[in-house]
Amino acid sequence: MNLKPIMFATVLALTTARPAETSAAEEFVDLFPTNGTPAGWLVRSWDNVANAPPPGAVWKVEDGILNGSNPRGTWLVSEKDYGDFVLEFEWKLGERGHSGCGLRFPPYGDPAFNGLELQMVDPRYYGTDKNDADTLTGAIYKAVAPTVQIYRPLEWNKYAITCRGPNIKVELNGKIILEVDLSTQTKKLERGAPLNLRPRKGRIGFQELSRGGGHVAIRNARVKELN
């Protein structure tokens, strides 16, 4: 039996498969690849991203870690719009830390109500009497609560967020904590339009509202746009 054609076909198949795997990995783009002031991003006010931030507010990347602004009360906003994408990053907060990840919001208004805000908060930020599930880590702020609360205080946490059309999936520390079809979310909310009417394309960004001198820290942030 002549094994050469079989061996050649096997080698050819393996060789052909490898570039596809490499290509898929290369679709992810690092959001903060260099130290210093992030290029391609704007610092804006926390309550309306059309407005300038507090005087002197700067976000900086140091040793590969993005550090939230001092003074507090800002958003770091992408200059680019994103539609369908996977966004991954690790983040850490202090004892009274409060941040958020803005998704598909316009270049004006409050990302939490004009787009979507995925919460990143240490419960001690609110005090002992604040337990609303839709304001804690993993929630779409003031709209949809996560299925479980697995935030790790004072440690690095990891988000993997997939936005594809009306479907939003959020993984925290390797566990799916939220899956929602925005097209079904028609209920009237305390503020902002129902989720089914929120934009399907817009900016992404990160918020700094931490108290007590602490700041959000973000590392290994990357995004992959989906066809």
Report all structural domains of the chain as residue ranges with CATH numbers, in order of start: 29-225 (2.60.120.560)
Prediction pTM value: 0.88
What was the pLDDT predicted at 17?
42
Strands 175-181 and 203-208: unpaired
What was the pLDDT predicted at 42?
98
Helix then strand then coil, in percent of the chain rounded to 5, is 15, 35, 50
DSSP classification of residue 38: P
Continuous H helices in the chain: 4-25, 111-114
Give percent of the chain with pLDDT exceeding 70: 87
For residues 204 and 102, the answer to whether their CB atoms sit within 8 Å is: yes
DSSP classification of residue 144: B
Q: Which residues contact 17 (CB under 8 A, 6 or more apart)?
A: none
> What are the residue ranges in the chain where pLDDT is below 50?
3-25
For residues 42 and 77, the answer to whether their CB atoms sit within 8 Å is: yes
What was the pLDDT predicted at 127?
84
Closest by CA to 104, choosing from 95, 94, 117, 86, is 117
